[in-house]
Structure 1
């Protein structure tokens, strides 16, 4: 019996070594190469993280030619995405296109913060305009975002949780009005749970409005009045000169809003001025990690408030260009992050 006890530690160490070898060998060689490259990239950090959503926004951003790829390590491919390393006006940046929706946005934001030496994130893209005082082509830098896709969908006789933020009674939109009971009932909007490095592990707090970083928002206020593009091309121009506004509110959900009634509800219930599908997820992830974040969104359409077809296909490229211009201007004003 004593002899068996003596050999047990040796046996355990052999098993552990085998497990480690197996686990390391299970990592794909491409990922190992990417992690080695990330280590080299991080040695030159910290960087500003730049995060946009889909190709038209990326084309507008890269088309300005102000992003200069790093000649030694121009990009890192990871999890099917390309993280581009470079500079803008001498500021070190890492740029990535995350893909549409809140899952993509949150996953890429967390991946960027976990793997790269990123000290803050600038998220940008186009959005639907919910506020009639704003116009297509305008740029909004909101102070806070709400996840307006976190619903309790109740039956017609259901009662709303008193902790919920607002409710949408589908029956109010019956045509003709008051024509029977609408079986879709009503929706109530719930707050989210925020886990944060500033709190104890697993000690979540609830919030509905996720705020961007105040010191970056104050810096962004100096962008108001900047020159924005008015024309898509020589034959297609907006009737008014676009403007940049700082300090409004935005909504995010995995819903493309192109409905006048819902647009009107969002504005009346929450006072939001824009609707998109990623911003709240990016802001929430940065808040969880205690990292500065700001969001810059260009108005590409009226989210259903228009007469006729949605204008995104017509003015989306202009909105993306004006957004890119605002992003570049903001980066130029950020202190630090200078290349060396």
Structure 2
């Protein structure tokens, strides 16, 4: 009987301990209520001073080039806001109100940071910039491309070798065509597929199949004058490019979570899709903006030509980033005051 009484009191005690432990665990892994309230109050204060131009770059080299060459006047009251591990800087450039963030490499990071910027801040559009690989032989390292269309070239259907090609894909890469000597290959064929675009202008839960995402025509027209601007040709006194770099507006770009350093694949992308640059974020930023109905422009400096000797991104990446920053600043000048 004593044993039963002991268990009778022991089980409720264990239940209380377990529930208390779960409560402590949950409290330790989620942001505090007071922190959330503080952030929400700060966001409201920041947005009262908007709307802002959203600026999204990718990694440290691009950020250093941009922040090192710009007169970024940080907001004296709220110079930055840290959200989800990223620092959003708030201030003015050339008298224009801006919110700037470094998103991190890859399409998931790019889409997440862009959506967060659109959701949290009062922005009137996104300027996305960084460096990219050159896919077009008529372009040169150091040039800056401002594309009119961008595709996700990493959305694949990898087909079995014996499967016939259908009409559901945009284009096909037959791996066997690159055998030496040519012949069949067990890797088969890659079919390039469409994105599914959910947008504020579309029907609910009825995505539109798209291959190209268009950047904003009005902003492209504003950027057209940038083709006249002077860009840097030298990293330092002993390292210069053979040709003077230029800005080109209105080409096409490809994005995938792939660093392209292969000449055969570079030629395939150019011949098949007519793209002039390749990067790992632009289409994700552009698609997120298109989905939400926000203006978007992409500005990318070319740092290397895939598959040509030693990849030059380490030599000329900083120069490409600096030329990109110069183009971004000139574009910001052209935007109207809010």
Shared fold (TM-score, shorter chain, > 0.5): yes
Q: List alignment gaps of at least 5 residues for structure 2.
A: 1-25
Task: State the number of aligned residues.
Answer: 311
1:89-143 deviation line (CA, Å, top 9, x unaligned): 0000000000000000001100000010011000000000000010000000000
> How big is the shift at 1:69?
1.1
Counterpart CA distance in 2 for 1:158 and 1:214 is 40
**Residue of structure 1 aligned with 2:40, choices 35, 42, 67:** 35
Counterpart CA distance in 1 for 2:146 and 2:269 is 18
The question of whether the paired residues in 1 share the 8 Å contact of 2:106 and 2:257 is answered with yes
RMSD: 1.4
SS of residue in 2 equivalent to 1:224: helix
Match of 2:231 in 1: 228
Mapping of residues 183-194 of structure 1, within 5 Å: 183-194=186-197
Match of 1:138 in 2: 143
Is residue 264 of structure 2 the alignment partner of residue 261 of structure 1? yes
1:159-182 deviation line (CA, Å, top 9, x unaligned): 22302110000000001223xx21
Match of 2:3 in 1: none
SS of residue in 1 equivalent to 2:228: coil
Counterpart CA distance in 1 for 2:95 and 2:203 is 38
Give TM-score scaled by structure 1 length: 0.89
The question of whether the paired residues in 2 share the 8 Å contact of 1:31 and 1:78 is answered with no
Match of 2:18 in 1: none
Q: List alignment gaps of at least 5 residues for structure 1.
A: 1-21
What stretches of structure 1 move > 4 A for 4+ residues in a row?
none
Match of 1:8 in 2: none
SS of residue in 2 equivalent to 1:227: coil
> How big is the shift at 1:27?
4.3
Match of 2:298 in 1: 295
Match of 2:315 in 1: 314
Is residue 332 of structure 2 the alignment partner of residue 331 of structure 1? yes
Match of 1:44 in 2: 49
Counterpart CA distance in 1 for 2:162 and 2:236 is 53
SS of residue in 1 equivalent to 2:270: helix
Counterpart CA distance in 2 for 1:315 and 1:26 is 43
> How big is the shift at 1:266?
0.2
Counterpart CA distance in 2 for 1:159 and 1:146 is 25
The question of whether the paired residues in 2 share the 8 Å contact of 1:192 and 1:208 is answered with yes
SS of residue in 2 equivalent to 1:131: coil
